[in-house]
Homo-oligomer: A and B are copies of this chain.
Amino acid sequence: MKKTFLKNKKNIQFLIIGLGLIGGSVAKRLSKNGFEVLAIDKKKSHLNHAKKSKITTGSLEKIDSTKKLFVIVALPPKILLRNFDKYLDLFHKADFVTDCTSVKGPLINIIKKNRLESKFILSHPIAGSEKSGFLNSNEDLFRDKISIISKHKGLANSTLQKCQELWFELGSKTHNLDLKLHDKIFSLTSHLPHVVAFSLISLFSKRKTSEYKKFIGGGLKDFTRIAESDPAMWENIFSLNKNNLLKDISEIEKEINKIKTFILQDDGKLEGHLKKIKKTKESLNR
């Protein structure tokens, strides 16, 4: 990709808000690539560590108004919404702002309300991990991953270009996806599976004798990775994508109930149902 906006490294300062898994990984890659990185985080220890390791040069005190400020917000979505006003001056001062969250609907409203739609673009790197926090961040987290960019009305073309250059700089491919479709798709492919995995482990916790623990390899283990994900993050996501997610929860309840009914009826329909599902699954491998 031809760089236009990220060409002159000396002319740019990146400010990362939230040095967790995502923010930390962005900071590490950008500083490795020769950019100046500043950061804000409620944990002073992370800020100190990042500065000592020369990942960042400092925080707000280092902002140089003669340079262009690129802000990357890497907070859980509800925290970003709740603190939007706190960062409003920064956003207005910035040349470019993006987020990294997995729920887009509520954000676009507050962006428009604050007339930031020209420079604030929504993006979502599909590069999570069940390991959260700055200590698990790494400069290669986004390499060869897809980062979704969602355009909206009023967005400057230059903002879109900057966002594409940014994720390219971080090692990702980018993919455009409509805001509303984004929230619908991730409700089904990510948020609902997390609801189900958390539910299974919650049920398991009521019976976890040592005998039960020995035999999680027969299926349960596949679900356990994502049940270790960050609780605060997932509370945020479930809550903000509630319209899509509550619909999907009703749908999965119906699906589970369908299998329950087939088991009770015991009339041979269950096998046909499972066969159809296996075919769907196989089509995902292609």
Binding site for B on A (CB under 8 A): 102, 126, 128, 146, 175, 177, 181, 185-186, 188-205, 207-208, 211-220, 222-229, 231-232, 234-235, 238-239, 242, 245-246, 248-249, 251-253, 255-260, 263-264, 266, 270-271, 273-278, 280-284
Contacts and interface: CB of A to CB of B under 8 A. Distances in A.
Contact of A253 (B189, B212, B215, B253): B253
A259 B181 contact: no
A205 B249 contact: no
Q: Which 7 A-B pairs have the closest CB atoms?
A: A190-B218, A193-B219, A231-B274, A199-B255, A205-B280, A235-B271, A190-B219
Given A190-B215, A242-B266, 12 more contacts: A193-B200, A194-B219, A196-B200, A196-B256, A199-B252, A222-B225, A227-B278, A234-B274, A249-B256, A249-B260, A253-B256, A253-B257
B189 A220 contact: yes
Contact of A198 (B186, B202, B203, B259): B259
A85 B193 CA distance: 44
A222 B223 contact: yes
Majority DSSP secondary structure for residues of A touching B: helix
Contacts of A284: 208, 213, 216, 224
Contact of A245 (B188, B204, B263): B263
A199 to B, nearest CB: 4
Given A189-B215, A192-B200, A264 B252 contact: no
A133 B195 CA distance: 33
A119 to B, nearest CB: 27
Contacts of A102: 218
A185 B205 contact: no
A256 B219 contact: no
B223 A275 contact: no
Given A189-B220, A222-B223, A226-B219, A202 B266 contact: no
A37 to B, nearest CB: 27
A190 B190 CA distance: 22
A273 B202 contact: yes
Contacts of A232: 271
Contacts of A257: 253
Nearest to A245: B263
A277 B202 contact: yes
A216 B200 CA distance: 20
A266 B239 contact: yes
A189 B220 CA distance: 5
Most chain B beta-carbon contacts within 10 A, residue among A213, A238, A256: A256
Contacts of A273: 198, 202
